[in-house]
């Protein structure tokens, strides 16, 4: 399982973070945010699919998909995928 940590409280084009554990291969993903929140999803090639989640502030976030690029132990969101 791939575990990622974002440097911000949410994802957006240009968001960055680090790989905490695992390898960037297709499969399940756990994502941690800077505010202590988290989400789960899957990585499929260069697409990161995040399941719906609730932020630490209580905001419900719908499922979203993102294009993601990896460089060593870092990642960058390059674009939001079309719904």
Distance CA 68, CA 71 (A): 10
Q: Are 35 and 7 in contact (CB under 8 A)?
A: no
Chain centroid to CA 41: 8
Query: Within 13 A of 35's CA, how many CA atoms are on the CB side?
Result: 12
Please say if the pLDDT value at position 41 is more than 90: yes
Does the pLDDT at position 67 exceed 80?
yes
Structure tokens at 80: 């939001």
Q: Residue 82: which pLDDT band, with cuts at 50, 70 and 90?
A: confident
pTM of the model: 0.93
Per domain, the residue ranges of the chain are 2-80
């Amino acid at each position: 399982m791939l575990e990622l940590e974002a440097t911000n409280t949410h994802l957006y084009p240009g968001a960055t973070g680090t790989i905490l554990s695992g390898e960037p291969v297709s499969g399940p993903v756990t994502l941690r945010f800077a505010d202590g929140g988290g989400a789960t999803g899957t990585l499929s090639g260069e697409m990161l699919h995040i399941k719906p989640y609730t932020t630490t502030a209580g905001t419900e976030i719908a499922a979203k998909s993102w294009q993601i690029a990896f460089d060593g132990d870092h990642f960058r969101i390059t674009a939001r995928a079309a719904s």
